[in-house]
Each structure stands twice: as C-alpha cells, then as structure tokens.
Amino acid sequence: NAGVMQNPRHLVRRRGQEARLRCSPMKGHSHVYWYRQLPEEGLKFMVYLQKENIIDESGMPKERFSAEFPKEGPSILRIQQVVRGDSAAYFCASSSGRSPNGYTFGSGTRLTVV
C-alpha cells in the first residue's frame, strides 16, 4: 500500500505561471482533501472532493485556484497566475469516508514562487 502520493515534492514557478499539484489517494480511498500550510502556521483546509465532485470548497480562494478529482487519475490542484503569496506547502489527504480516523496525509508539495 503506497499511501497518499503527491508530486512533485518541490515546485518552483515564476510569478504569473501556472502550478499543477497532483495527488493520488490511497488504494480504496475515494475522498480527497487539500490543505495549505503557510510558513510558521498550521494547515488550513482548502477543498474536499469525491470522485468527479467538489463537496466543500469553502477554504478555496475565489480566484485563480481550482481543484478536480476525475474518474480516472489523480486529484489536481491548479493555481493560475501564481503570486509570491501562494508560496506554501500544499498537502493532500485521503480517506475511505467510513470512519473519521483523521485520514492519511501525503508528504506535501512545497511551492515556491519567484
């Protein structure tokens, strides 16, 4: 069981470029969560998805950010026209939805905008 896989581990983008972060949930998990961790802060919820559906996006910035979890393939968090303030660690977590065991986190993608 490979766990939650996130890639890339590190991503550098220039201001104005697009960033695409990928998350493959654990085998058998159909629920995916994205969190953002700013320096010296705890993780902040962004979005919760089930296969092909966004369930809760209350933590997503209104502009430039989008997320998807297609029927086939990984979940994608997309940030368009990145700015320096987007620099952070982005974590994905997955669960089976059956028991709230705090689910399983990936190792995160550290995005640096230069």
Q: Is 87 in the site for another protein (CB under 8 A)?
A: no
Q: Which of 5, 89, 96, 112 binds another protein (CB under 8 A)?
A: 89
> Residue 91, class by beta-carbon neighbours within 10 Å (0-12 exposed, 13-18 middle, 19+ buried)?
buried
Q: Is 105 in the site for another protein (CB under 8 A)?
A: yes
Question: Quick one: which of 19, 91, 94, 113 contacts another protein (CB under 8 A)?
Answer: 91
Indicate whether 7 belongs to the interface with another protein (CB under 8 A): no
Tell me the β-bridge partners of 44.
36
* Amino acid present at 24: S
Q: Where are the alpha helices (DSSP H) in 1-100?
A: none
Give me the 46-65 binding string for another protein, x by CB under 8 A, dash otherwise. --x------xx--x------
Degrees, nearest 5: CA angle 105-50-33: 30
The single residue among 27, 39, 40, 84 that binds another protein, judged by CB under 8 A, is: 40
